[in-house]
């Protein structure tokens, strides 16, 4: 499928944001290494000057490190993890903007941060606009925000310059803790200054859901219970828990994936047309989906949810891998799941009666995130009288091969009337070139600098999503109600997940 470059329609062109200083809390951690520093470099190196001119990046962490060592480490991280090859001339300019301050955990560290920021802004000739990125454990965020405020590092929302705080998921461990995190945030910050980030919303395919639906009348008119039989959302990870064992064994798949990433995708897929493309309108439309999401009660949990964890087996290369309970750092009495499957409904006018099947897990057959929309069968007349004609299906691939495909029936060439499924396919890489899609963090970081909340999560969304998930967690608190089952590594999950969708007369579609 080719794109028509002569018929481009630009709705909103990204412009460089105002100059600012980005302070990365936890700058020596995994998130900064793999995502934040490479993404900031890419915003400079993309050739479009999207990184605000003269802006600075300050690493702020507990670890002792010189500025020179931080810059060298940042170069190593970017070389390894950036989607773009490092251009040394461009890197030299970017490295000049990097600075570092150690002692995040010390009593005087925030006072020192204020002095450093003022010195950097004076030296670079930029206004005191600041972005504070909390790449630190969730439990450390409330204290850090409080200390920022006490050090005079947070402006009032109507000040001539901005101060913005980026908060990573998970926001809370359950509904009560999420409410407490939001309470602390709004105590020291205005809601306009808070950016709750979910990098899934920065992915091109997730953003394209709005364009696919509302700029193509063919899809929007089919979108709902009159034509859709059911929807499947799959987020499969090939790797195990790895170095995240300590975090994961207190979280699990339901908290780690369903409460944030998957519910975000579900809302983008099913929302009603927002009144405009501004952030408030899109946030309201997503929130209305959560308000319509049918709760899963304890009585329904066994029939509508599956919880499982992977057992020992082999990976995709045939190498032996340990089961979850034998991974380093996992508690011997762990009750945490690495796989979740569930069936739910959206009880509104458009989607009433359409089942939504969700599954996510680690150590699955391969890495793949996708949405599969299966349309209703054609009537049992004409072609569908003698043998069943496969239903049309729309596959939206979020990763790794971003794009979408549509399965339709056609006549096979020849003298006989034989039907055959044909796939109409769009691959982002094929249509627009490999590497054309920016990383999710690149888009989201730029939006923070620009003050655009469209792709960020509101406090209400956090709370409503936790309400839905909390009902499932409560149902699972009694291990006998929904027991943890096992599935072999390098599979698509346990047989119970197949039974879950099978009792509804459907089967999982391989992503």
Q: Check: CB of residue 493 under 8 Å from CB of residue 316.
A: no
3-class DSSP state for residue 35? helix
Structure tokens at 455: 């792709």
Catalytic residue check, 509: no
Name the β-bridge partners of 313. 321
pLDDT in tens, 98-156: 999 998 889 899 999 999 999 999 999 999 999 999 998 888 888 999 999 999 999 99
Proportion of the chain above pLDDT 90, given as a percent = 54
More confidently predicted of 230 and 412: 230
463 band by pLDDT with thresholds 50, 70 and 90:
very high
Pairing of strands 194-197, 355-361: unpaired
Domain at 201-502: CATH code: 3.30.360.10
pLDDT of residue 4 exceeding 50, the answer is no
Q: Check: CB of residue 370 under 8 Å from CB of residue 511.
A: yes
Read off the pLDDT of each residue in 265-291 and give the average, rounded to a whole number: 90
Kindly list the domain boundaries of the chain, sorted by start residue: 16-198, 201-502
Residue of 255, 267, 253, 396 lying closest to 344 (CA atoms): 267
Q: Check: CB of residue 225 under 8 Å from CB of residue 353.
A: yes
pLDDT in tens, 414-454: 766 667 677 777 776 666 655 556 777 888 898 899 898 88
Task: Map tokens 């993404």 to a residue.
Answer: 39
pLDDT of residue 315 exceeding 90, the answer is no
| pLDDT at residue number 221 | 84
Q: Looking at the domain 16-198, which fold is it?
A: Rossmann fold (3.40.50)
Pairing of strands 419-427, 320-321: unpaired
53 phi, psi to nearest 5 deg: -60, 140
| pLDDT at residue number 288 | 95
pLDDT in tens, 135-151: 988 888 889 999 999 99
Q: What gap in Å lies between CA 105 and CA 107, rounded to an integer?
A: 7
Task: Supply the DSSP symbol for 454.
Answer: T
Residue 335 CB contacts under 8 Å (≥ 6 apart), including other chains: 479, 484
| pLDDT at residue number 382 | 64
pLDDT of residue 471 exceeding 90, the answer is yes
Q: What is the mean pLDDT of the chain?
A: 87
Residue of 131, 141, 206, 133 lying closest to 171 (CA atoms): 141
Q: What gap in Å lies between CA 61 and CA 470, rounded to an integer?
A: 33
From the candidates 173, 261, 453, 509, which is the catalytic residue? 261
Structure tokens at 283: 């946030």
Q: Check: CB of residue 97 under 8 Å from CB of residue 57.
A: yes
pLDDT in tens, 363-403: 999 999 999 999 987 766 666 556 677 788 899 888 887 88
Pairing of strands 313-314, 194-197: unpaired
Least confident residue range of 204-208, 232-236, 493-497: 204-208
């Amino acid at each position: 499928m080719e794109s028509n470059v002569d018929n481009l329609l630009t709705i909103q062109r990204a412009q460089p944001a105002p100059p600012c200083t980005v302070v990365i809390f936890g700058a020596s951690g995994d998130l900064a290494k793999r995502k934040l520093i490479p993404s900031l470099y890419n915003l400079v190196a993309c050739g479009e000057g999207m990184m605000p001119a003269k802006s600075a990046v300050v690493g702020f962490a507990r670890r002792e490190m010189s500025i020179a060592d931080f810059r060298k480490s940042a170069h190593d991280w970017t070389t390894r993890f950036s989607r773009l090859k490092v251009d040394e001339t461009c890197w030299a300019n970017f490295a000049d903007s990097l600075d570092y301050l150690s002692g995040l955990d010390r009593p005087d560290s925030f006072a020192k941060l204020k002095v450093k920021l003022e010195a950097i802004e004076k030296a670079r000739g930029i206004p005191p606009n600041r972005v504070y990125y909390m790449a630190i454990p969730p439990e450390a965020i409330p204290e850090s925000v409080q200390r920022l405020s006490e050090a005079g590092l947070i402006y009032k929302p109507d000040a001539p310059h901005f101060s913005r705080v980026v908060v990573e998921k998970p926001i809370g461990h359950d509904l009560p803790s999420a409410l407490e995190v939001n309470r602390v945030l709004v105590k020291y910050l205005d809601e306009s200054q808070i950016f709750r980030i979910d990098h899934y919303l920065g992915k091109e395919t997730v953003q394209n859901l709005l364009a696919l639906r509302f700029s193509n009348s063919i899809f929007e008119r089919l979108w709902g219970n009159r034509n859709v039989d059911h929807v499947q959302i799959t987020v499969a990870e090939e790797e195990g828990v790895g170095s995240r064992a300590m975090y994961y064994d207190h979280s699990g798949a339901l908290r780690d994936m369903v409460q944030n990433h998957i519910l975000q995708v579900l809302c983008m897929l099913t929302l009603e047309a927002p009144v405009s493309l501004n952030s408030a309108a899109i946030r309201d439309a997503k929130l209305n989906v959560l308000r319509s999401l049918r709760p899963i009660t304890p009585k329904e949990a066994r029939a509508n949810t599956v919880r499982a964890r992977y057992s020992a087996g082999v990976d995709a290369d045939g190498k032996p891998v340990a089961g979850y309970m034998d991974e380093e750092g996992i508690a011997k009495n762990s009750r945490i799941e690495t796989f979740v499957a569930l069936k739910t409904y959206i009880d509104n006018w458009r989607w009433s009666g359409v089942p939504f099947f969700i599954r996510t897990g680690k150590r699955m057959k391969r890495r793949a995130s996708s949405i599969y929309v299966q349309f209703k069968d054609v009537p049992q007349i004409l072609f569908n009288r003698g043998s069943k004609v496969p239903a049309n299906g729309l596959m939206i691939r979020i990763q790794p091969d971003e794009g979408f495909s549509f399965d339709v029936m056609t006549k096979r060439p020849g003298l006989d009337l034989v039907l055959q499924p044909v796939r109409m396919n769009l691959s982002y890489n094929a249509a627009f070139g490999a590497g054309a899609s920016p990383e999710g963090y690149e888009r989201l970081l730029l939006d923070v600098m620009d003050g655009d909340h469209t792709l960020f999560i509101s406090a209400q969304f956090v709370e409503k999503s936790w309400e839905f998930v909390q009902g499932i967690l409560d149902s699972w608190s009694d291990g006998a109600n929904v027991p943890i089952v096992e599935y072999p590594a390098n599979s698509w999950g346990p047989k119970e997940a197949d039974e879950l969708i099978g009792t509804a007369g459907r089967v999982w579609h391989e992503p």
